[in-house]
Amino acid sequence: MASKNVNIKKNGMVANSHARITAKISTNDKVGPSTIQFGFTGSPFDDATYTVPAGDSKESSYIRSDAIEGKKYTYCVKDGNDDMVDDPDIIIER
């Protein structure tokens, strides 16, 4: 099992090198770190919302078995005022 880090800068934006990551079903990848919320594209994980305390991290649940390989799942990062500050994505691989 591997954890994939999503680095969120102090201003709430996702660090450029992490604007898109891949997560693999075969290695049970999880995604962790503001509030991360999957929306209209759905969530590849059991949960659609993850609250991450400032300066901390949080892992996602495992990738759902029905997550679509190659699909781009967009999520938003919200600040403490519930304002969206970034909208990166995750692409699922096997």
Over range 24-33, report the average pLDDT.
69
Confidence at residue 33, expressed as pLDDT on a 0 to 100 scale: 45
| Tokens 């659609």 found at | 48
**SS3 for 85?**
strand
What digits encode the pLDDT tens for the residues 1-20? 555 666 666 666 666 565 66
Over range 70-92, report the average pLDDT.
85
Nearest to 55 by CA among 85, 87, 78, 33: 33
Assess contact for 15 and 8: CB atoms under 8 A: yes
Cα 56 to Cα 5, 35, 44, 93: the distances in Å are 11, 12, 22, 27
Neighbours of 55 (CB within 10 A): 7
